[in-house]
Amino acid sequence: MAAGRLDVSRRQGGGGYFDKVKRGGDRGLVRKNGYHSSTIVPSFDFRRGGLSCRDEEQQSGEPWQFNAFGSSKYEEGEIPANEDGVQLPAEKKRKFSPIVWDVEEKKAKISSKNRVVQRSSTRDVNVVSDEDVVKSPVKGGLELLVDKDCVDGGSTDGIGSEYPAPLSSSLHPKKDEGYDQEQGQVEEEELPEARNISMSRWASDDDSPRDTTLIDDKGMHGEMVYRTDLINREGFQREVSDRDGSSSSLLDERAYSGSSASEYELQNDVMDIDDIRDGNASDNEMEQTTGEEPTVTNQRGFNMLEGCRSVFEYERLNEINEGTYGKVYKARDKKTGEFVALKKVKINVGRDKYLEEYGFPLTSLREINILMSFDHPSIVRVKEVVMGDLDSVFMVMEYMEHDLKGLMQAMKQPFSTSEVKCLMLQLLEGVKYLHDNWVLHRDLKTSNLLLNNQGELKVCDFGMSRQYGSPLKPYTSLVVTLWYRAPELLLGAKKYSTAVDMWSVGCIMAEMLTKEPLFTGKGEIDQLDKIFKTLGTPNETIWPGLSKLPGAKANFVKQPYNQLRKKFPFTPFTGSPVLSDSGFDLLNRLLTYDPEKRITADDALNHPWFNEVPLSKSKEFMPTFPPQYAKNRPNQRTMKCLDSRSIGEGRQYQVLSGTYWWISSFGIYILFCNDPAVLDPQGPEY
Ligand SMILES: Nc1ncnc2c1ncn2[C@@H]1O[C@H](COP(=O)(O)OP(=O)(O)OP(=O)(O)O)[C@@H](O)[C@H]1O
């Protein structure tokens, strides 16, 4: 393999689709991505400077692509039955077949015989279509139908603030209908085993029929892989896979303890495997085929066979920022002149089991994998992955001029209500897209929201994201940066779901309105205290199940009232942000204690606040801001004294090492910059 190339080789196997998964010495990951499930064996060849991936699954010979959408085994109209002969509705869909990284070695004892592979006929699936169906038939006829409506449906029962909001019911006309819950309920009646939000979010293993259903994943070429780790008593096959699609090693465990999350989740992987080893795995080796090669409609195609380009295809301009996981540079494509952001993947960061075992941090694998499969205007686009020398790897992303955190720190005035609406709508669209596709972001915060000069907001940093499924499995609660972390996480909940992201969205909305973070705790207890002081101390009445959470026994501040409205008074001309009753209702619903009652992204998008005046500003009319140099930089104060709105887009020139100046219609501004990328006499350190 040439240096700087991503080598993806495949073996054509003679047997079943998964017969040829190489075991033993390989330290591979099983990725169920898009339409095929394949074993990818990523390895770093440091001497040759390449990320080598071998896809060891037998395939059709078509290029290996990151992809997301699936197909059905059954033709339309054909209604499969489960093992008991109960017919199941055909029309359910899964918009996104999640990408799964499994630990192959952890599952090395599980051979292909334990897999259930279904090659299915395929019809083209439109990414945005609500009509498409993904069914996961298994030997015996049981199938899992996954519908986006099932994700959201039923989640908003009892929606509302635990402390009555001063809002007339007319403001939330759909409340009693559960914000369009009817469809979800009908589907539940029709399909007793279908997922619904109450199951996918908070159902326990005991009460969820999901214990005996399958979680599907579809291969890129239409193979269906059934994750039947929980069922085998009735002759179903077991397919060994990660619990919900991926394992995690998370930002906060790096930041806080350097342990837990990935290990915790890996332990769960091992538990699943042990369970299988303990004798429940079926002897039946099954490979079902329909004989028809599916057609693939990509959500986003990325041809890995083309290999990775070199980072030297890009001219590095300056360092934009450095996150926990890597530096981010601004760069220019030498061929096209296009500006991009290069995120250097940190290889040696914290304790990452994957890093030790596979030479590549899990978080980066997950981030690359998820981002390359997503295609949404509110999700930052990763164009490609490129190799540098010295074993470095870069994600090439579309360049965004600002992140919301840096921007708000630089702004004198907070965003106007119509600007907040514009940003919130984009944020909610992005979060809805994630949740519809069974992905939790788990680190939504203002520094992970990027804004460009076209008024577009995009979510970035998927290093902590992961798939979720039903039934919920325990995940680490050490997720989400403290200030944006939901109370259930702070209280140690291990089973959580999309609601954790919605809490973060609530914190972000409040911050957009005031320009200041809402709850700025110094530690977890302090964070909870701050939340309780503002929203009132929760109790079992407003949050059933609270007392069962590990942290609930602690002696917290007792505050009987919700004081949130005091922070967001309606009265204009006070200097405080003006938030209408409707806007406050949305905020209150986002910051609802009980995750079951917390508003979903879908419902938030339909909230009446967005229909009342002032209406959302359109993106084109969003203000532009000065260059990004001050973003989260040591010399941020220099920028703070500038009126970012009045400067508009300036041009930057390097006049001295580390010094920038730009001209605007208001004069010349000089920024002293300690940017190591600028000061580095060696030039780019690719
Ligand atoms: N596509 C982009 N365009 C411009 N700036 C970007 C882009 N992606 C990231 N950044 C900047 O880099 C910062 C860090 O990026 P990112 O959050 O992806 O890295 P990280 O290492 O995962 O950070 P964190 O510490 O939040 O985990 C962002 O806050 C943003 O300022």
Structural tokens at position 159: 């929606």
Q: Average the pLDDT over 644-666 and give the result.
A: 38
CB-defined site of ligand 1, < 6 Å: 251, 320-321, 323-326, 328, 341, 343, 380, 397-400, 403, 447-448, 450, 460-461, 463, 631
Pocket test for ligand 1, best of 448, 482, 504 (most atoms within 8 A of CB): 448
Q: For 510-561, what is each residue's pLDDT tens digit?
A: 999 999 999 999 999 999 999 999 999 999 999 999 999 999 888 888 888 9
Known active-site residue 443: yes
Instruction: Tell me which amino acid residue 554 is.
Output: A
Compute the distance from residue 460 Cα to the ligand 1 centre, in Å: 7
Pocket test for ligand 1, best of 250, 252, 329, 343 (most atoms within 8 A of CB): 343
Compute the distance from residue 323 Cα to the ligand 1 centre, in Å: 6
Residue 432 has pLDDT above 80, yes or no: yes
Q: Which candidate in 7, 102, 132, 443 is catalytic?
A: 443
Taking all residues of the chain, what is their mean pLDDT, rounded to a whole number? 59
pLDDT of residue 249: 31
pLDDT of residue 86: 36
Rounded Cα distance, 205 and 200, in Å:
11
Residue 207 DSSP symbol: T
HSE, side-chain direction, 13 A CA sphere, residue 370: 32
Compute the distance from residue 445 Cα to the ligand 1 centre, in Å: 11
572 — pLDDT class (breaks 50, 70, 90) = low
ipTM, 2 dp: 0.97
Supply the angle between the helices 581-590 and 499-514 in degrees, to the nearest 10. 140
CA distances 566 to 450, 535, 577, 655, Å, are 29, 11, 11, 49
**Ligand 1 atom closest to residue 447's alpha carbon, by position in its atom list:** 29
Q: Is the pTM of this model over 0.80?
A: no
Buried b (16+ CB within 10 A) or exposed e, 9-35: ebeebeebbbbbbebeebbbbbbbbbb
Strands 314-322 and 309-310, bridge-based pairing = unpaired
Contact between residue 457 and residue 378 where contact means Cβ atoms under 8 Å apart: yes
Compute the distance from residue 116 Cα to the ligand 1 centre, in Å: 39
Q: For 446-499, what is each residue's pLDDT tens digit?
A: 999 999 999 999 999 998 888 887 667 777 777 788 999 999 999 999 889 999
Structural tokens at position 305: 């066979």
623 cis-preceded (ω within 30 degrees of 0)? no
